[in-house]
């Protein structure tokens, strides 16, 4: 049985209703930072563009491990936090 989130992600025309900027670091903000560095809004847009079901994550931390950019080059990320405090405000959090 699929979760509601994964069913919602399969809709190809999903657009965010609103956006705000992150104020404090969290695991979610870390992953959004990684998607946005690679040129995507978030996991939803990445899965739509790249037509993948799963994003490769570090089992220890749950952070994104590897992303493919639109020009097909890859970004590889560390297990540890990469989004520094000064960069947290740059992260856009989208609401669906």
- 8 located within any domain: no
pLDDT value of position 61: 95
Residue 19 is classified by DSSP as: E
Residue 53 is classified by DSSP as: S
pLDDT value of position 15: 85
Q: How many domains does the chain have?
A: 1
- 9 located within any domain: no
Question: Cα separations (Å) of 85 from 11, 43, 66, 95, 96?
Answer: 34, 22, 22, 22, 26
- 62 located within any domain: yes
pLDDT value of position 4: 45
Q: What's the domain range around 55?
A: 18-95
Q: What is the mean pLDDT of each run of 10 residues along the chain (96 residues)?
A: 45 81 97 97 94 94 96 95 97 94
């Amino acid at each position: 049985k699929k979760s509601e989130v994964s069913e919602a992600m399969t809709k190809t025309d999903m657009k965010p209703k609103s956006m705000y900027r992150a104020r404090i670091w969290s695991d979610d903000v870390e992953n959004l930072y990684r998607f946005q560095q690679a040129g995507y809004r978030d996991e939803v847009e990445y899965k739509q563009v790249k037509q993948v079901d799963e994003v490769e994550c570090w089992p220890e931390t749950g952070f994104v491990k590897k992303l493919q950019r639109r020009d097909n080059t890859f970004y590889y990320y560390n297990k540890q936090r990469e989004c520094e405090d000064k960069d947290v405000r740059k992260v856009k959090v989208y609401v669906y």
